[in-house]
Amino acid sequence: MAQDLLADGLTYVGTLRSNKPQVPEAIKAHYSRGEMTSLFRFHDQLTLVSYIPKPGKCVLAVSTHHHDKAVVGEAKKPEIICHYNATKSGVDNLDHLATMHTTRRKINRWPMVLFFNLLDVAGIASFIIWLANNPDWKASEGRRRRRLFLTELAYGMITPHMKKRAMVPTLQSSVR
């Protein structure tokens, strides 16, 4: 995935689980390695780092943005991991916002899970764009603004369909 992103002109910084087959055994956590030590592996534009913060624990990170063995601070933490920690809050914040007002349901069909997740992210993105264009919109509502926005968005999207459907002559009058 990192190489595909790089081919599109995008860089990638992320963590990796040590049970993946692509991770060499030499870079995984070993008790022979000391605390606060790092191992770096380079392949073309990819950099893989293994950092041992404490015995028996290994943090693996991959980057197409960093290409050196730079470490930071007293803990000798690799710059790749520091960069990842500094930028991961955006994803955590998005996950938090998506779980507050969600369309998700308990379902085992992965296309539906993907679709519900897409709706959640689209709702957050549309709210951000709306607030950028209308910063004073319902400012007195405070924390309820996003919920009100999502409600108005949903009604705005279904109202034209409901009006069109109400014009169907074969529809029962009680439903109209």
Residue 81 exposed, middle or buried by CB count within 10 Å (0-12, 13-18, 19+): buried
Considering the domain architecture, whether residues 109 and 81 belong to the same structural domain is answered as no
Contact between 16 and 56 under an 8 Å Cβ cutoff? The reply is: no
Q: Does 176 fall in a domain?
A: no
Considering the domain architecture, whether residues 73 and 107 belong to the same structural domain is answered as no
Considering the domain architecture, whether residues 43 and 99 belong to the same structural domain is answered as no
User: What pLDDT score does 175 carry?
Assistant: 66
Chain Cα centroid distance, residue 157: 26
Considering the domain architecture, whether residues 106 and 71 belong to the same structural domain is answered as no
Q: Which domain holds residue 13?
A: 2-87
Q: Is residue 37 pLDDT above 90, yes or no?
A: no
Q: Does 115 fall in a domain?
A: yes
Percentage of residues in the chain with pLDDT exceeding 90? 38
Rounded average pLDDT over 4-13: 89
Rounded average pLDDT over 107-135: 94
Segments of 53-171 assigned E as strands: 59-63, 71-72, 77-78
User: What pLDDT score does 174 carry?
Assistant: 72
User: What pLDDT score does 176 carry?
Assistant: 61
Rounded average pLDDT over 8-21: 88
Considering the domain architecture, whether residues 158 and 132 belong to the same structural domain is answered as yes
Residues 79-104: tens digit of each pLDDT: 999 988 888 888 888 899 999 999 99
Considering the domain architecture, whether residues 115 and 139 belong to the same structural domain is answered as yes
Q: Is residue 117 pLDDT above 80, yes or no?
A: yes
| Residue at a domain's end among 87, 116, 147 | 87
H or E stretch at 123:
helix 110-133
Considering the domain architecture, whether residues 83 and 6 belong to the same structural domain is answered as yes
Whole-number average pLDDT of the chain:
88
User: What pLDDT score does 134 carry?
Assistant: 93
Considering the domain architecture, whether residues 127 and 73 belong to the same structural domain is answered as no
User: What pLDDT score does 133 carry?
Assistant: 96
Q: Is residue 29 pLDDT above 80, yes or no?
A: no
Considering the domain architecture, whether residues 76 and 30 belong to the same structural domain is answered as yes
